Structure 1
C-alpha cells in the first residue's frame, strides 16, 4: 500500500563499515525534533539523563534542500555537546551511540533516506534513524511505542506505531494527497466564507466582520487585497484561527461548521490509522498535538472526543504538551534497548522529569 499503508519503521543505518571505530563519547542518544517552526536537540545518556540541549529555527528541507537543512543542525549539536562539556572539534569517534531524528519534510521513504544519509555524513552517531516529526509527538504522549498521533498545527498529519516497528502513515502532501485542516486550512476557509458572505455568494457569517476587525481593515475583501499586494504578510492569516474559535463560541453557525469539519478530519485520520494497525478493538492512545489541538479549545476537543467514542470506543484521546524532542529521545532509547545496547530502569521517567511542561533549552 505504499506510504499510505502499514510499514516498518525506518532501519537505523550503521556506517562503521565493519571496522572498529573510536568509542562514542556518550553511550546514549542524540535526539532531534525538527519542526516547521523550531528545532530542538537533546543529548542524553542511556539512563535518560539530559546532558545538553539546544534550540534553533525551523527545519525546512522542502524550502532550502536536504543538505542545507541538515547543516543547520550543526550549531545546535555543537551547543548541546558544549553544555555536556564536550568539544566536538577535539578527539575522534562519534558523539553518541545512536541519533534519533524526527523531522518535518520526512514524509516519504525517499525523503527519510536522503535525510538519513545527510545526517550520517556528519558522524554524530554510530547509528542513525530518521522518521517524520509526528512520530516524536506520538512517542512523547505514550508510555510505550504503541498508539496513534494526530498533529494539527500549521497543517495536519497522522501516524501510528506498534512495538514491533510497524507503522501507519499518510503521504501528508496537503491537498494533493487529500489533506485538509490545521491552522493553514482553517485560516484559508475563514477567508473563503468571509469573502463570500460579504459579496452575497455565501451565507451570512460574523467571521466577515471579525476578520476585518482583527486586522484593522474595513472588510474581509480589504484583508484579501492587503495579502495580495504584500502589505499584510500571508503568514499572519494564521491569526484567524483563534478568531474562528471565538466566533464559533458566540454561536455563529458557519464558524461552528468549520470546527466540526476539522474535528471530523482529525478523527477520520485517527480511525484509519487505528484500523491499519488492528487497534480498533483494543484500548489504544490517540495522542493529539500541534498548535490547534494544544490550545485545548473545548468546541474542538469535545467534538473529537464524541466522534472517537462513536467510531473507536476503546481509543483514549490525550492532548500532549510534552515537547516532541522527548519523543525523539524515547524512540532513541527504544532503539538502544531493542538492539541490546542497554535498557536502564527508570530512564524514561528520568528523561520526562527533565522536561516539566516544556523545558526551554538555550537557543544556539
Structure 2
C-alpha cells in the first residue's frame, strides 16, 4: 500500500481532515489514537492546559494538539528549519480536524490541530534547570540565543505583518478577532487599525480608555513604515531547550511567530523579563536589539486591554463576519466612531 493510500485509509473516519504537512517517513496517528494513548498509555506529558496538550508519542516523536494549537506553528517551524540555522525540532506531520469528529461537542465551531515533531533527547527547558546552572553555562545560553535571533533577523523582510503562507496575525492583541480581521497586513498602519478596532467599548466608563488608545496608536501611525522581520515572539525559558552545558539545542513554541515590525520581538519579550528574579531579563536585554518608545506604547495598550476585560468569551462570544458588531461593541471594517475618528486619524 502506498503512503497516500495508507493515509487515506487511516483517516477515512475524519472527512474534515486537512493535512498541513506530511512526511513519507511518518504516518501520523489519528486523533483517536492520540487521545487513547494519552488516556491509557501513561505517556510522559509535558503540558496539558488551556486547550493544549504536549506529550511523548514514543521515544522519537512528540505530539502537540488541541483546539488552541495553531497550524501556523508547524508552518513556522518548517520555514525556520529550511531558511535559517536556528535549531528547531524536525516537523514530521500536522493536520487539523473538526471538533465534532472527535466528540468535542463544545467545540463544534473550532478545529483541533495535531502537530508531530522530532523528540530531542538529553535536553531540558531553561526553566527546569536554571537554578543548577553556573555563570558560564548561563553565558552560553545567552550566546546561543543571540545567535538564533541574529539568524532570524537575516531572513529577507516579509511583505506583510502576519504568519507564513499569507496566514493571519497571531497576537494576543487580536487573538479573539475572527481570522478575516487579523490580516495579513501589507501596511503597518492597517495593523494598528485592527488593534484599535479590537478594543470594544461596552459602556461610557470605558470611553476615557478608548480615547487614550486612539492617541497612543496615532503616535505609532505617525512614524514611517518599518521593515517586517521574522519574529519568534515567545522567548519564554520554557521554549529554550538546552543541554547540561547550556548549549541551545532547540527553540520551540512558534505559535505566535511571523513577520512583525522590527520592535516586536522586544515588545513580546516584556512578559518574561522578571523570570528568575530578573536574570532572564538581563539575558534578553543582551540578546535583543532594544526598542523603547514603540514597545512602551504597546505595553500600555496591553495593560488597558486587561483593565477593560477585553475577552470576547466574557461578552458576546467569538465574532464572525455575520455577528452583530454592536453586540460585541466593536466596529469591524467600518468607520471609527466620530468621537475617536478625528483623534485617531489626524
TM-score range, shorter chain: under 0.3
Larger RCO of the pair (alpha carbons < 8 Å, separation 6+): 1
TM-score by length of 2: 0.23
Name the structure where strand makes up a greater proportion of residues.
Answer: 1
